[in-house]
A and B are shown apart, each in its own frame.
Chain A
Amino acid sequence: MHELAISQAIIDTALRHADGRRLTSVHVRVGSLRQVVPDSLAFYFEIVARDTACEGARLDLEPVAALLRCPDCGDEWDPAPPPLAGHGALPAAGLPPVPSFRCPRCATPGKILRGDELEVEWIEVDEAVGASP
Chain B
Amino acid sequence: MHRTRIRVAEDALDANETIARANRDDFDRMDVRVVNLMSAPGAGKTTLLERAIQGLDGTRIGVLEGDVQGSLDADRIAHLHVPVTQLNTDPGFGGECHLDANMVRSALPAVKLDEIDLLVIENVGNLVCPAEFKVGEDARAMVSSVAEGDDKPLKYPLMFRTCELILVNKIDLLPHLDVDLDRLVANIESVNPTATVLPVSAKTGEGVEAWRDWLARVGLRAPAAA
Across the interface, A13 reaches (CB within 8 A) one of B2, B8, B129, B194, namely: B8
Q: How far apart are the CA atoms of A16 and B18 in the complex, in Å?
A: 15
Q: How far apart are the CA atoms of A117 and B9 in the complex, in Å?
A: 11
- The dominant DSSP class at the A interface is mixed
- Report whether A1 and B126 are in contact in the complex, using a CB–CB cutoff of 8 Å: yes
Over the window 110-133 of chain A, the binary record of Cβ atoms lying under 8 Å from chain B Cβ atoms (1 yes, 0 no) is: 000000011111111111110000
- Report whether A125 and B3 are in contact in the complex, using a CB–CB cutoff of 8 Å: yes
List 25 contacting pairs A-B, 8 Å CB cutoff, sorted by A. Answer: A1-B126, A1-B129, A2-B128, A5-B100, A5-B133, A12-B15, A13-B10, A13-B14, A13-B15, A17-B8, A24-B3, A91-B187, A99-B157, A99-B190, A100-B191, A101-B193, A102-B189, A119-B11, A120-B11, A121-B9, A122-B7, A123-B5, A125-B4, A127-B1, A127-B2
Q: How far apart are the CA atoms of A120 and B3 in the complex, in Å?
A: 18
* Interface contacts beyond A9-B12, A98-B191: sample of 5 additional A-B pairs, CB < 8 Å, sorted by A: A5-B100, A13-B14, A99-B190, A120-B11, A122-B5
- Report whether A127 and B12 are in contact in the complex, using a CB–CB cutoff of 8 Å: no
Over the window 197-221 of chain B, the binary record of Cβ atoms lying under 8 Å from chain A Cβ atoms (1 yes, 0 no) is: 0000000000000000000000000
Q: In the complex, how many angstroms separate the beta carbon of B60 from the nearest chain A beta carbon?
A: 33
Judged by a CB distance under 8 angstroms, whether A54 is at the interface is: no
Q: In the complex, how many angstroms separate the beta carbon of A114 from the nearest chain B beta carbon?
A: 14
- Report whether A98 and B154 are in contact in the complex, using a CB–CB cutoff of 8 Å: yes
A28 and B192 in contact (CB under 8 A), knowing A1-B97, A123-B5?
no
Over the window 33-52 of chain A, the binary record of Cβ atoms lying under 8 Å from chain B Cβ atoms (1 yes, 0 no) is: 11100000000000000000
- For chain A, the bracket of interface size reads 35 or more
Q: How far apart are the CA atoms of A51 and B150 in the complex, in Å?
A: 43
- Report whether A123 and B6 are in contact in the complex, using a CB–CB cutoff of 8 Å: yes
Instruction: Give 9 nearest A-B pairs by CB, closest first.
Output: A109-B193, A9-B12, A2-B128, A98-B190, A120-B8, A10-B12, A100-B190, A91-B183, A102-B193
A101 and B4 in contact (CB under 8 A), knowing A2-B129, A10-B12, A118-B12?
no
| Residues of chain B at interface, number, CB under 8 A | 41
Over the window 15-31 of chain A, the binary record of Cβ atoms lying under 8 Å from chain B Cβ atoms (1 yes, 0 no) is: 01110000010001000
Judged by a CB distance under 8 angstroms, whether B158 is at the interface is: yes
Judged by a CB distance under 8 angstroms, whether B132 is at the interface is: yes
Judged by a CB distance under 8 angstroms, whether B21 is at the interface is: no
Q: In the complex, how many angstroms separate the beta carbon of B177 from the nearest chain A beta carbon?
A: 16
- Chain A residues positioned under 8 Å from B150 (CB to CB): 91
**Chain B contacts with A in 165-208, Cβ cutoff 8 A:** 180, 183, 186-187, 189-194
Judged by a CB distance under 8 angstroms, whether A65 is at the interface is: no
Q: How far apart are the CA atoms of A112 and B51 in the complex, in Å?
A: 36
Q: In the complex, how many angstroms separate the beta carbon of B104 from the nearest chain A beta carbon?
A: 15
Judged by a CB distance under 8 angstroms, whether B59 is at the interface is: no
